[in-house]
Structure 1
Amino acid sequence: MRVLVTGASGRLGRVVLPTLLGEGFAVRAMSRHRRDDPRVEWVVADLSTGEGLAGAVRGVEAVLHLASAPGGGRTHDVDVLGTRRLVVAAGAAGVRHLVHVSIVGIDRVPFGYYRHKLAAEEVVRAGEVPWSILRATQFPVFLDELLRAASRLGPTVGDRAVLAQPVDPGEVASRLAARLAAGPSRAVEDFGGPQVLRFDEAVCAWRAARQSRRPLLPIRIPGRLGRALRSGGLTTTATPTGTRTWADYLADTYEGTGRR
């Protein structure tokens, strides 16, 4: 099966490409800028303008839609309007399956970026291309970056009761490969990590892995956002889950480094 992967140069895309190749897929990778990779056919296209999309979807049986723009003022153009352009182009090209990657909790957590992701899902569901949607929980590296940013001034600042469920991107990539092989589900599937962690639990393990003595300075996120995050808005009870834990990520990243 020949698959077009949008957002192929992104954080998840860099993991997805070797996974798909290992599963025997023929991969056409798409990004806004030209790349050199002898393993895949690389094409240049821009979701925010539609330039190059018709050629990118021509001749593929499925599209794996990873591309997103969470910041920089491009979110609506890329995630909503760009997804619409992609769906229309894929329909015109006779693509038989579009797999869209989304985020667990976008329908429960009142956050601006999530509103755009939810709108993108609605575009996919309304399109003529048979579809599947996989919502994933947070990648461990994202939680790691969040904790480093929250520790810039010394203590680690955060709401101790916020719940997270880190999932390994390699396991998400494997789940996506399986979904492509299975064909369109016309359903929204959640996929999360094996553990739900409170923020203070995640911080404690992170400090130990980094051999850090930074204290936790607790704050309470106010309003609807805080309530949604504390009540597990970013977590899922769906099965199956991934198997790699936050502790596994920390051991791989920091074991023996003594980074503070």
Structure 2
Amino acid sequence: MNTTNAPVLVTGGTGTLGRHVVPLLREAGREVRVLSRHARELPAQGVEHVACDLRTGEGLDAAVAGTRTVLHLAGGPKGDDEATRSLVRAAREAGVRHLVYISVIGADRVPLAWLRSKLEAERAVSGSGIAWTTLRAAQFHDLALLMAEKMAKLPVIPVPGGMRLQPVDAREVAARLVELTLGGPAGLVPDLTGPAVYDLADLLRTYLTARGKHRPMLPVRMPGKAGRAYRSGANLTLEGADKGTRTWEEFLAERTGTLLGTA
């Protein structure tokens, strides 16, 4: 089968990242098959939805059949390792030639259960016997916004001391993933971060300013090994990363309609 004529299978194609990835693949002239738990019709030409549950494997063989490239975006707070192993088994049996995976910076350094699951998923991909590419990205602006929205509902915001983030724009991550998907297998590629590092307190203050809110902040100490990892910057890539250009302030301005200064 001509690889360029085969559909690209995208797991998580309806999520934050997938909603940017799918149109970019279509703009590049590729047919796209979106894996979701419930099949549904989309008005977009060249986009097919197939029903599948990665956890149970139900519908997975049919979803992978006829594809030569799989872009694995689906993820959650737990179970990513098992879901990825299930996908890898089906992809190997279907003759997939390129498996692309999105992971998280710090998966190999921060001792949290969901990051360990991401690391195990990375290992399932790299040990699959299929040619592969893995990109580790920083937290999306969207996730930072969700966190800020939830914390701002509290009368006093507890802020873990020493915690820093490098939020990156999901559209820039999507563009990089599409570039990698359409290219050849590259193994573990340089991390992708946002253009700036923020103390969590500064990130929250910017959000509160954009929303015209005022909340007192209470510094707290994050305990244990995870706390030490975050304070040491284990969730950051300060050297050797590719950097996006869209800042947290620009993202917030678009979402809130408030013009903000840059850090």
- Contact preservation (8 Å) 2:107, 2:115: yes
Q: Distance in 1 between matches of 2:124 and 2:204?
A: 37
After superposition, residues 62-211 of structure 1 pair within 5 angstroms as 62-70=69-77, 75-76=78-79, 79-211=80-212
Please say if residues 150 and 158 of structure 1, whose CA atoms lie closer than 8 Å, have aligned partners that are also in contact.
no
Instruction: Tell me if structure 2 keeps the 8 A contact 1:133–1:189.
Output: no
Aligned-pair identity in percent equals 44
What SS is found at the alignment partner of 1:149? helix
Alignment partners' CA distance in 2, 1:161 and 1:36: 46
1:204-223 alignment runs, 5 A limit = 204-223=205-224
Query: Could you report, residue by residue, the CA deviation over 1:41-95 in whole angstroms, capped at 9, with x for unpaired residues?
Result: 111111111111111111112000011121xxxx23xx12221121111111111
Q: How much does 1:157 deviate?
A: 1.6
Provide the TM-score with structure 1 as the length reference.
0.92
Deviations 1:166-224 (A, max 9, x none): 00000000000110122101224311111111112112211211111212221111222
One-letter code of the match for 1:238? G
Letter in 1 for 2:57: G
Correspondence list, 1:240-251, <5 A: 240-251=242-253
Partner of 2:56: 49
What is the match of residue 252 of structure 1? 254
Which residues of structure 1 form unaligned runs of 5+?
Answer: none
SS at 1:189's partner residue?
coil
Query: Which of 15, 18, 39 is residue 13 of structure 1 equivalent to?
Result: 18
Shift of 1:256: 4.6
Retained in 1: the 8 A contact 2:172–2:244? yes
Taking the aligned partners of 2:258 and 2:163, their CA distance within structure 1 comes to: 29
Q: How many residues align?
A: 251
Q: CA RMSD in A?
A: 1.5
Secondary structure (helix, strand or coil) at the match of 2:195 reads coil
Which residue in 2 is equivalent to 1:233? 234
Judge conservation of contact 1:107–1:114 (CA < 8 Å) in 2. Answer: yes
Quote the offset at 1:35 in angstroms. Answer: 2.1
Higher mean C-alpha deviation, range 212-221 or range 147-156: 147-156
Name the counterpart of 2:33.
28
CA contact (8 A) 2:252 2:258 kept: no
CA separation in 2, counterparts of 1:33 and 1:151? 34
Contact 2:136 2:192 in 1 (8 A): yes
The alignment partner of 1:175 has SS state of helix
TM-score of the two chains, using structure 2 as the length reference:
0.91
* Distance across 2 between alignment mates of 1:177 and 1:231: 32
Could you tell me how far 1:255 is from its partner in structure 2?
2.1
The alpha-carbon distance between structure 1 residues 140 and 109, as it changes in their structure 2 partners (threshold 3 A), is same
